Amino acid sequence: MALRAYLREGLNVAAIMGAGDTMAQLFVEKKTLQQWDTGRTARFSALGLVLVGPILRKWYLTLETMVSKDQPSLRRGIKKMAIDQTVFAPTFTLAMSFVVPFVNGEDTDKIKKRIRESYFSIMIKNYMLWPAAQFVNFTFVPLPYQVIYAQFIALIWNCYISLILNK
């Protein structure tokens, strides 16, 4: 059963990440359908399947155990959001800033240079979106739906991240 849940999350996240990359290419980068890099979209989706979906599921389950259920839901939501945004977000963002260009075949020196140049900018933008979104998620969304909720918010985020990390 646990494997099925991880696979379900992976498939959901793969679809949403693929949609985000497609939106980035067609609507932000203004590529035509002929210019659309379907390989890039497939790689981004694959990361959702094998990495992002399972990691988010595990993280949300871990957060659930870290914060006591014996407190009001608003306090619990604030605590979970604070842990998420101080522990998980910086680490996960850094990892994705390396993994996305790496799977696209970029040279590691070029990736490291881009991380040095863009990581703090990405994190600033992260903190403009994700604390509020995660507060809502952790306060009002039942645990089985938290990953999918976050991924719907991530449609916008993935569009931005895909654009930055695939420059």
Each domain of the chain, given as residue ranges in start order, spans: 2-165
Q: Of the candidates 49, 45, 134, 46, which has an alpha carbon nearest to the alpha carbon of residue 88?
A: 134
pTM score: 0.88
* Distant-in-sequence, close-in-space partners of 22: CB < 8 Å, separation ≥ 6: 36, 41
| Cβ atoms of 56 and 143 closer than 8 Å | no
pLDDT of 165 reads: 65
- pLDDT band at residue 158, thresholds of 50, 70 and 90? confident
Percent of the residues in the chain that have a pLDDT greater than 70, as a whole number: 95
Chain mean pLDDT for the chain: 91
Quick one: pLDDT at residue 6?
Answer: 87
Statement: residue 160 has pLDDT above 70: yes
Q: Which position has the token pair 């703090």?
A: 120
